Structure 1
Amino acid sequence: MRLVTTPRVAFLRGLAEEVLARCGRGRMTVAIDGPLLSGKSALGDDLAAVLAERDHAVFRARLEDFHRSRAAQAEYGADTPERYYGYGFDESALRRSLVEPFRFGGSAAFVTKVRDPARDAWVEPKWVTGPEDAILIVDGRFVLRERLADLWDLRIAVAGEPTDPADLIAYAHADPRRTADRVVDVADPAHPRLVG
């Protein structure tokens, strides 16, 4: 289904061209990082929609759906921004349940969500698979951190200054805007633009 052309859609079509140019054939992973409430999830959703209008298989996931349980986080000490940045997410599950089987391709099944952070509860896994040529878009705070760098073929950061304490810690360690392949300013959501 063809999307209505707006300045946002036109911009995302250009970004999608870059994704597809890098992708060629096979499986590709795209990560979108940014501060809390920066618009990264909406950017990921809309980029997926633009890729889908070209009949390309696209899967979406959010790092939020790979939280550690509160009990598991508590094993790392008091509830602080440092603990959340360091241990808030189950990166092993992200690798094991999503990215690695997705990259394997073929009939390997993967899940795009393992936990409901609002309820602090595991979700029943919905195992999915896809065609040989497919793109996985994952958004989330800290998704471009160094220890996850090997997971992504294309790295996108949303412009904007961090204000949340955990984001301030993350940006002090490694500013995703400096490690991203592309930096997108979505301060005006209707008119996003590349700034790096």
Structure 2
Amino acid sequence: MEHDALAVVAGLVVAAAPGARALVAVDGAGGSGKTTFAAHLAERVRQRRPVLVVHADDFLAPPHVRHARGRYSPEGFWLDAYDVPALVRDVLDPLGPGGDGRYRPTRDDGLAAPGVALVAPPAAVVLVEGTFLLRDGLADRWDVAVHLDVPLAEATRRMAAREGRAPDDPVWERYAGAQRLYARAAHPRGRATVVVDTTDVTAPRVCALRTPGPRATGGTLGRA
């Protein structure tokens, strides 16, 4: 199998939904390298198709919703952190099959006038990078689904360094516990079109590849 993970994924993405918009998930835990991988992937894809990047973190639920089960609750982060209906309404529906292409890349918080809707080109690749993107209700939305796989301990170490917080801060167990709940409920490795090991962020490696079906949840999984 080709060792250049970005080339492998870019090839899948460019070929997805020919003549129409393609919805692509870049899924993974915080600290897995989603934002960086999506940016590099966009550079590769842009050479052959229009591309836009949407960040799921721009659809976080308000704090009183995110922390309703407790500030350090793993279940609260897994179930309540994201305003999934807003992501579907403002991005996935308008950019998916039958949509008019008019989308809003950030959540309307109700505190200001909604932003002007943007219009995606008819054959654009839409990269959505974020956490929990292969959960029930979203998994069948993607033409290609990429799952970035990294040990939780390494992801937590990266987040602690990035945020300047102690590695034993209880907030990290909230995040790690939520990822364990997600893995048990959604089995993202099994739902992904391609699984990329980002333990070494400088050399991402394809470790599982699914032959794409009509949507990301179809096809046959192989191992690198």
Q: TM-score band (shorter)? A: 0.7 to 0.9
Tell me the secondary structure at the aligned position of residue 189 of structure 1: coil
Determine if contact 1:156/1:180 at 8 Å carries over to the other structure. yes
CA shift for structure 1 position 175: 2.8
Residue aligning to 1:43? 37
Length, aligned pairs only: 183
Partner residue of 2:149 out of 152, 159, 182: 159
CA shift for structure 1 position 48: 0.8
Q: Structure 1: state its 5+ residue gaps.
A: 1-7
TM-score by length of 1: 0.82
Tell me the secondary structure at the aligned position of residue 151 of structure 2: coil
Residue aligning to 1:81? 74
Any residues of structure 2 matched to 1:9-28 within 5 Å, and which? 11-28=5-22
Residue aligning to 2:138? 148
CA distance in 1, matches of 2:57, 2:64: 16
Residue aligning to 2:95? 102
CA distance in 1, matches of 2:98, 2:105: 15
Distance 1:106 1:178, change over 3 A: closer
Identity of aligned residues (%): 28
CA distance in 2, matches of 1:89, 1:107: 24
Q: Structure 2: state its 5+ residue gaps.
A: 154-175, 209-224
Residue aligning to 2:203? 191
Distance 1:34 1:25, change over 3 A: same
C-alpha RMSD over aligned residues: 2.5
**Structure 1 outlier segments of 4+, above 4 Å:** 104-107, 121-124
Distance 1:107 1:178, change over 3 A: closer
Residue aligning to 2:194? 182
TM-score by length of 2: 0.73
